[in-house]
Amino acid sequence: MKIQALQVGSIGTNCYILCDEAAKVCAVIDPGAEPELILSAAEKLDCTVDKILLTHGHYDHTGAVAALMETLPPTAVYIHQADFDSPQTQLFPLKSELARIPFGGVNFYGEGDRITVGTLELQVLHTPGHSEGSVTLLCGDTLFCGDTLFAGSCGRTDFPGGSMKQMMASLARLAALPGDYRVLPGHMEPGTLDRERRFNPYMQMALREQG
C-alpha cells in the first residue's frame, strides 16, 4: 500500500491517492481541484484510477470529480447519500457537478460498508458532524478522516448539515478505536490517533461528554 498526498485548490485541501502497487490500481480520495495534477500523480505511481472516494460533499473535496470522470475510463464514485441529498448541496454544487459525469454514475456507501481497491480493503465509518454524510475511511493502519478529525482540532460544524453534538459522538467513536492509527485529515498536516487522544482538546471534550 502506497499513499500519495497532494494539496489541491485555493485552500490546500488534502487529496490522497491510495495505491495497491502490486495490482497497479488506485483510489483517489477527495479530489477537490486540479484534476491534471491528480492524474499526473497517479500516472507517476504507474496506477490506474479504479475508484473516487469522497469523505463528504463540500466543494473543496469534490470539485475535480466531474473533470476526472470525463478523462478516466469508467470509474465508480462513492459518497454517503446523506450528503448527496442534503440541503448543503445548494451551497456546494455537488449534484450539478456529478450530473456531468458521462458514465459510471454515483454509488452510495455508509456505515459498515467495505470497498476494495485491488487487494486493499477500506471500511466505511459514518462520522457525521461536519456534514450529515461525513465518513472516515479505515484502511490498514490509516484513517482518512476528511474534515472530521484534524491534528489538534476538528472540522467546522456551522455549515448546513453540521452538528456539534454529532461531531462529539464521531470524535469519541474514533478515539475508542483499538490501537493507534495514522490520521490523514482533509486539511493541514497528518497525525496519529494516539496523539489526538492525548492532546486534541476536541477529542478530549468528546470523550468526557460521551462518558
Structural contact between residues 144 and 28, judged by C-beta atoms closer than 8 angstroms: no
- Alpha carbons 20 and 26: distance in angstroms, whole number: 6
How crowded is the C-beta side of 208, counted as CA atoms within 13 Å? 7
Put simply, whether the predicted model's pTM sits higher than 0.75 gets the answer: yes
The mean of the pLDDT values for the chain is 91
Q: Which residues of the chain have pLDDT under 70?
A: 87-105, 211
Structural contact between residues 151 and 145, judged by C-beta atoms closer than 8 angstroms: no
Please report, for residues 50, 60, 113, 184, the alpha-carbon distance to residue 104 in angstroms, rounded to integers and kept in the order given. 11, 22, 19, 27
> What digits encode the pLDDT tens for the residues 61-116?
988 988 898 888 778 899 999 988 776 554 445 566 665 555 456 889 999 999 99
- Residue ranges of alpha helices (H) inside 86-192 are 94-98, 164-175
Q: What is the DSSP letter of 160?
A: T
pLDDT at 74: 74
Which triple of cell numbers denotes residue 42? 497517479
pLDDT at 97: 61
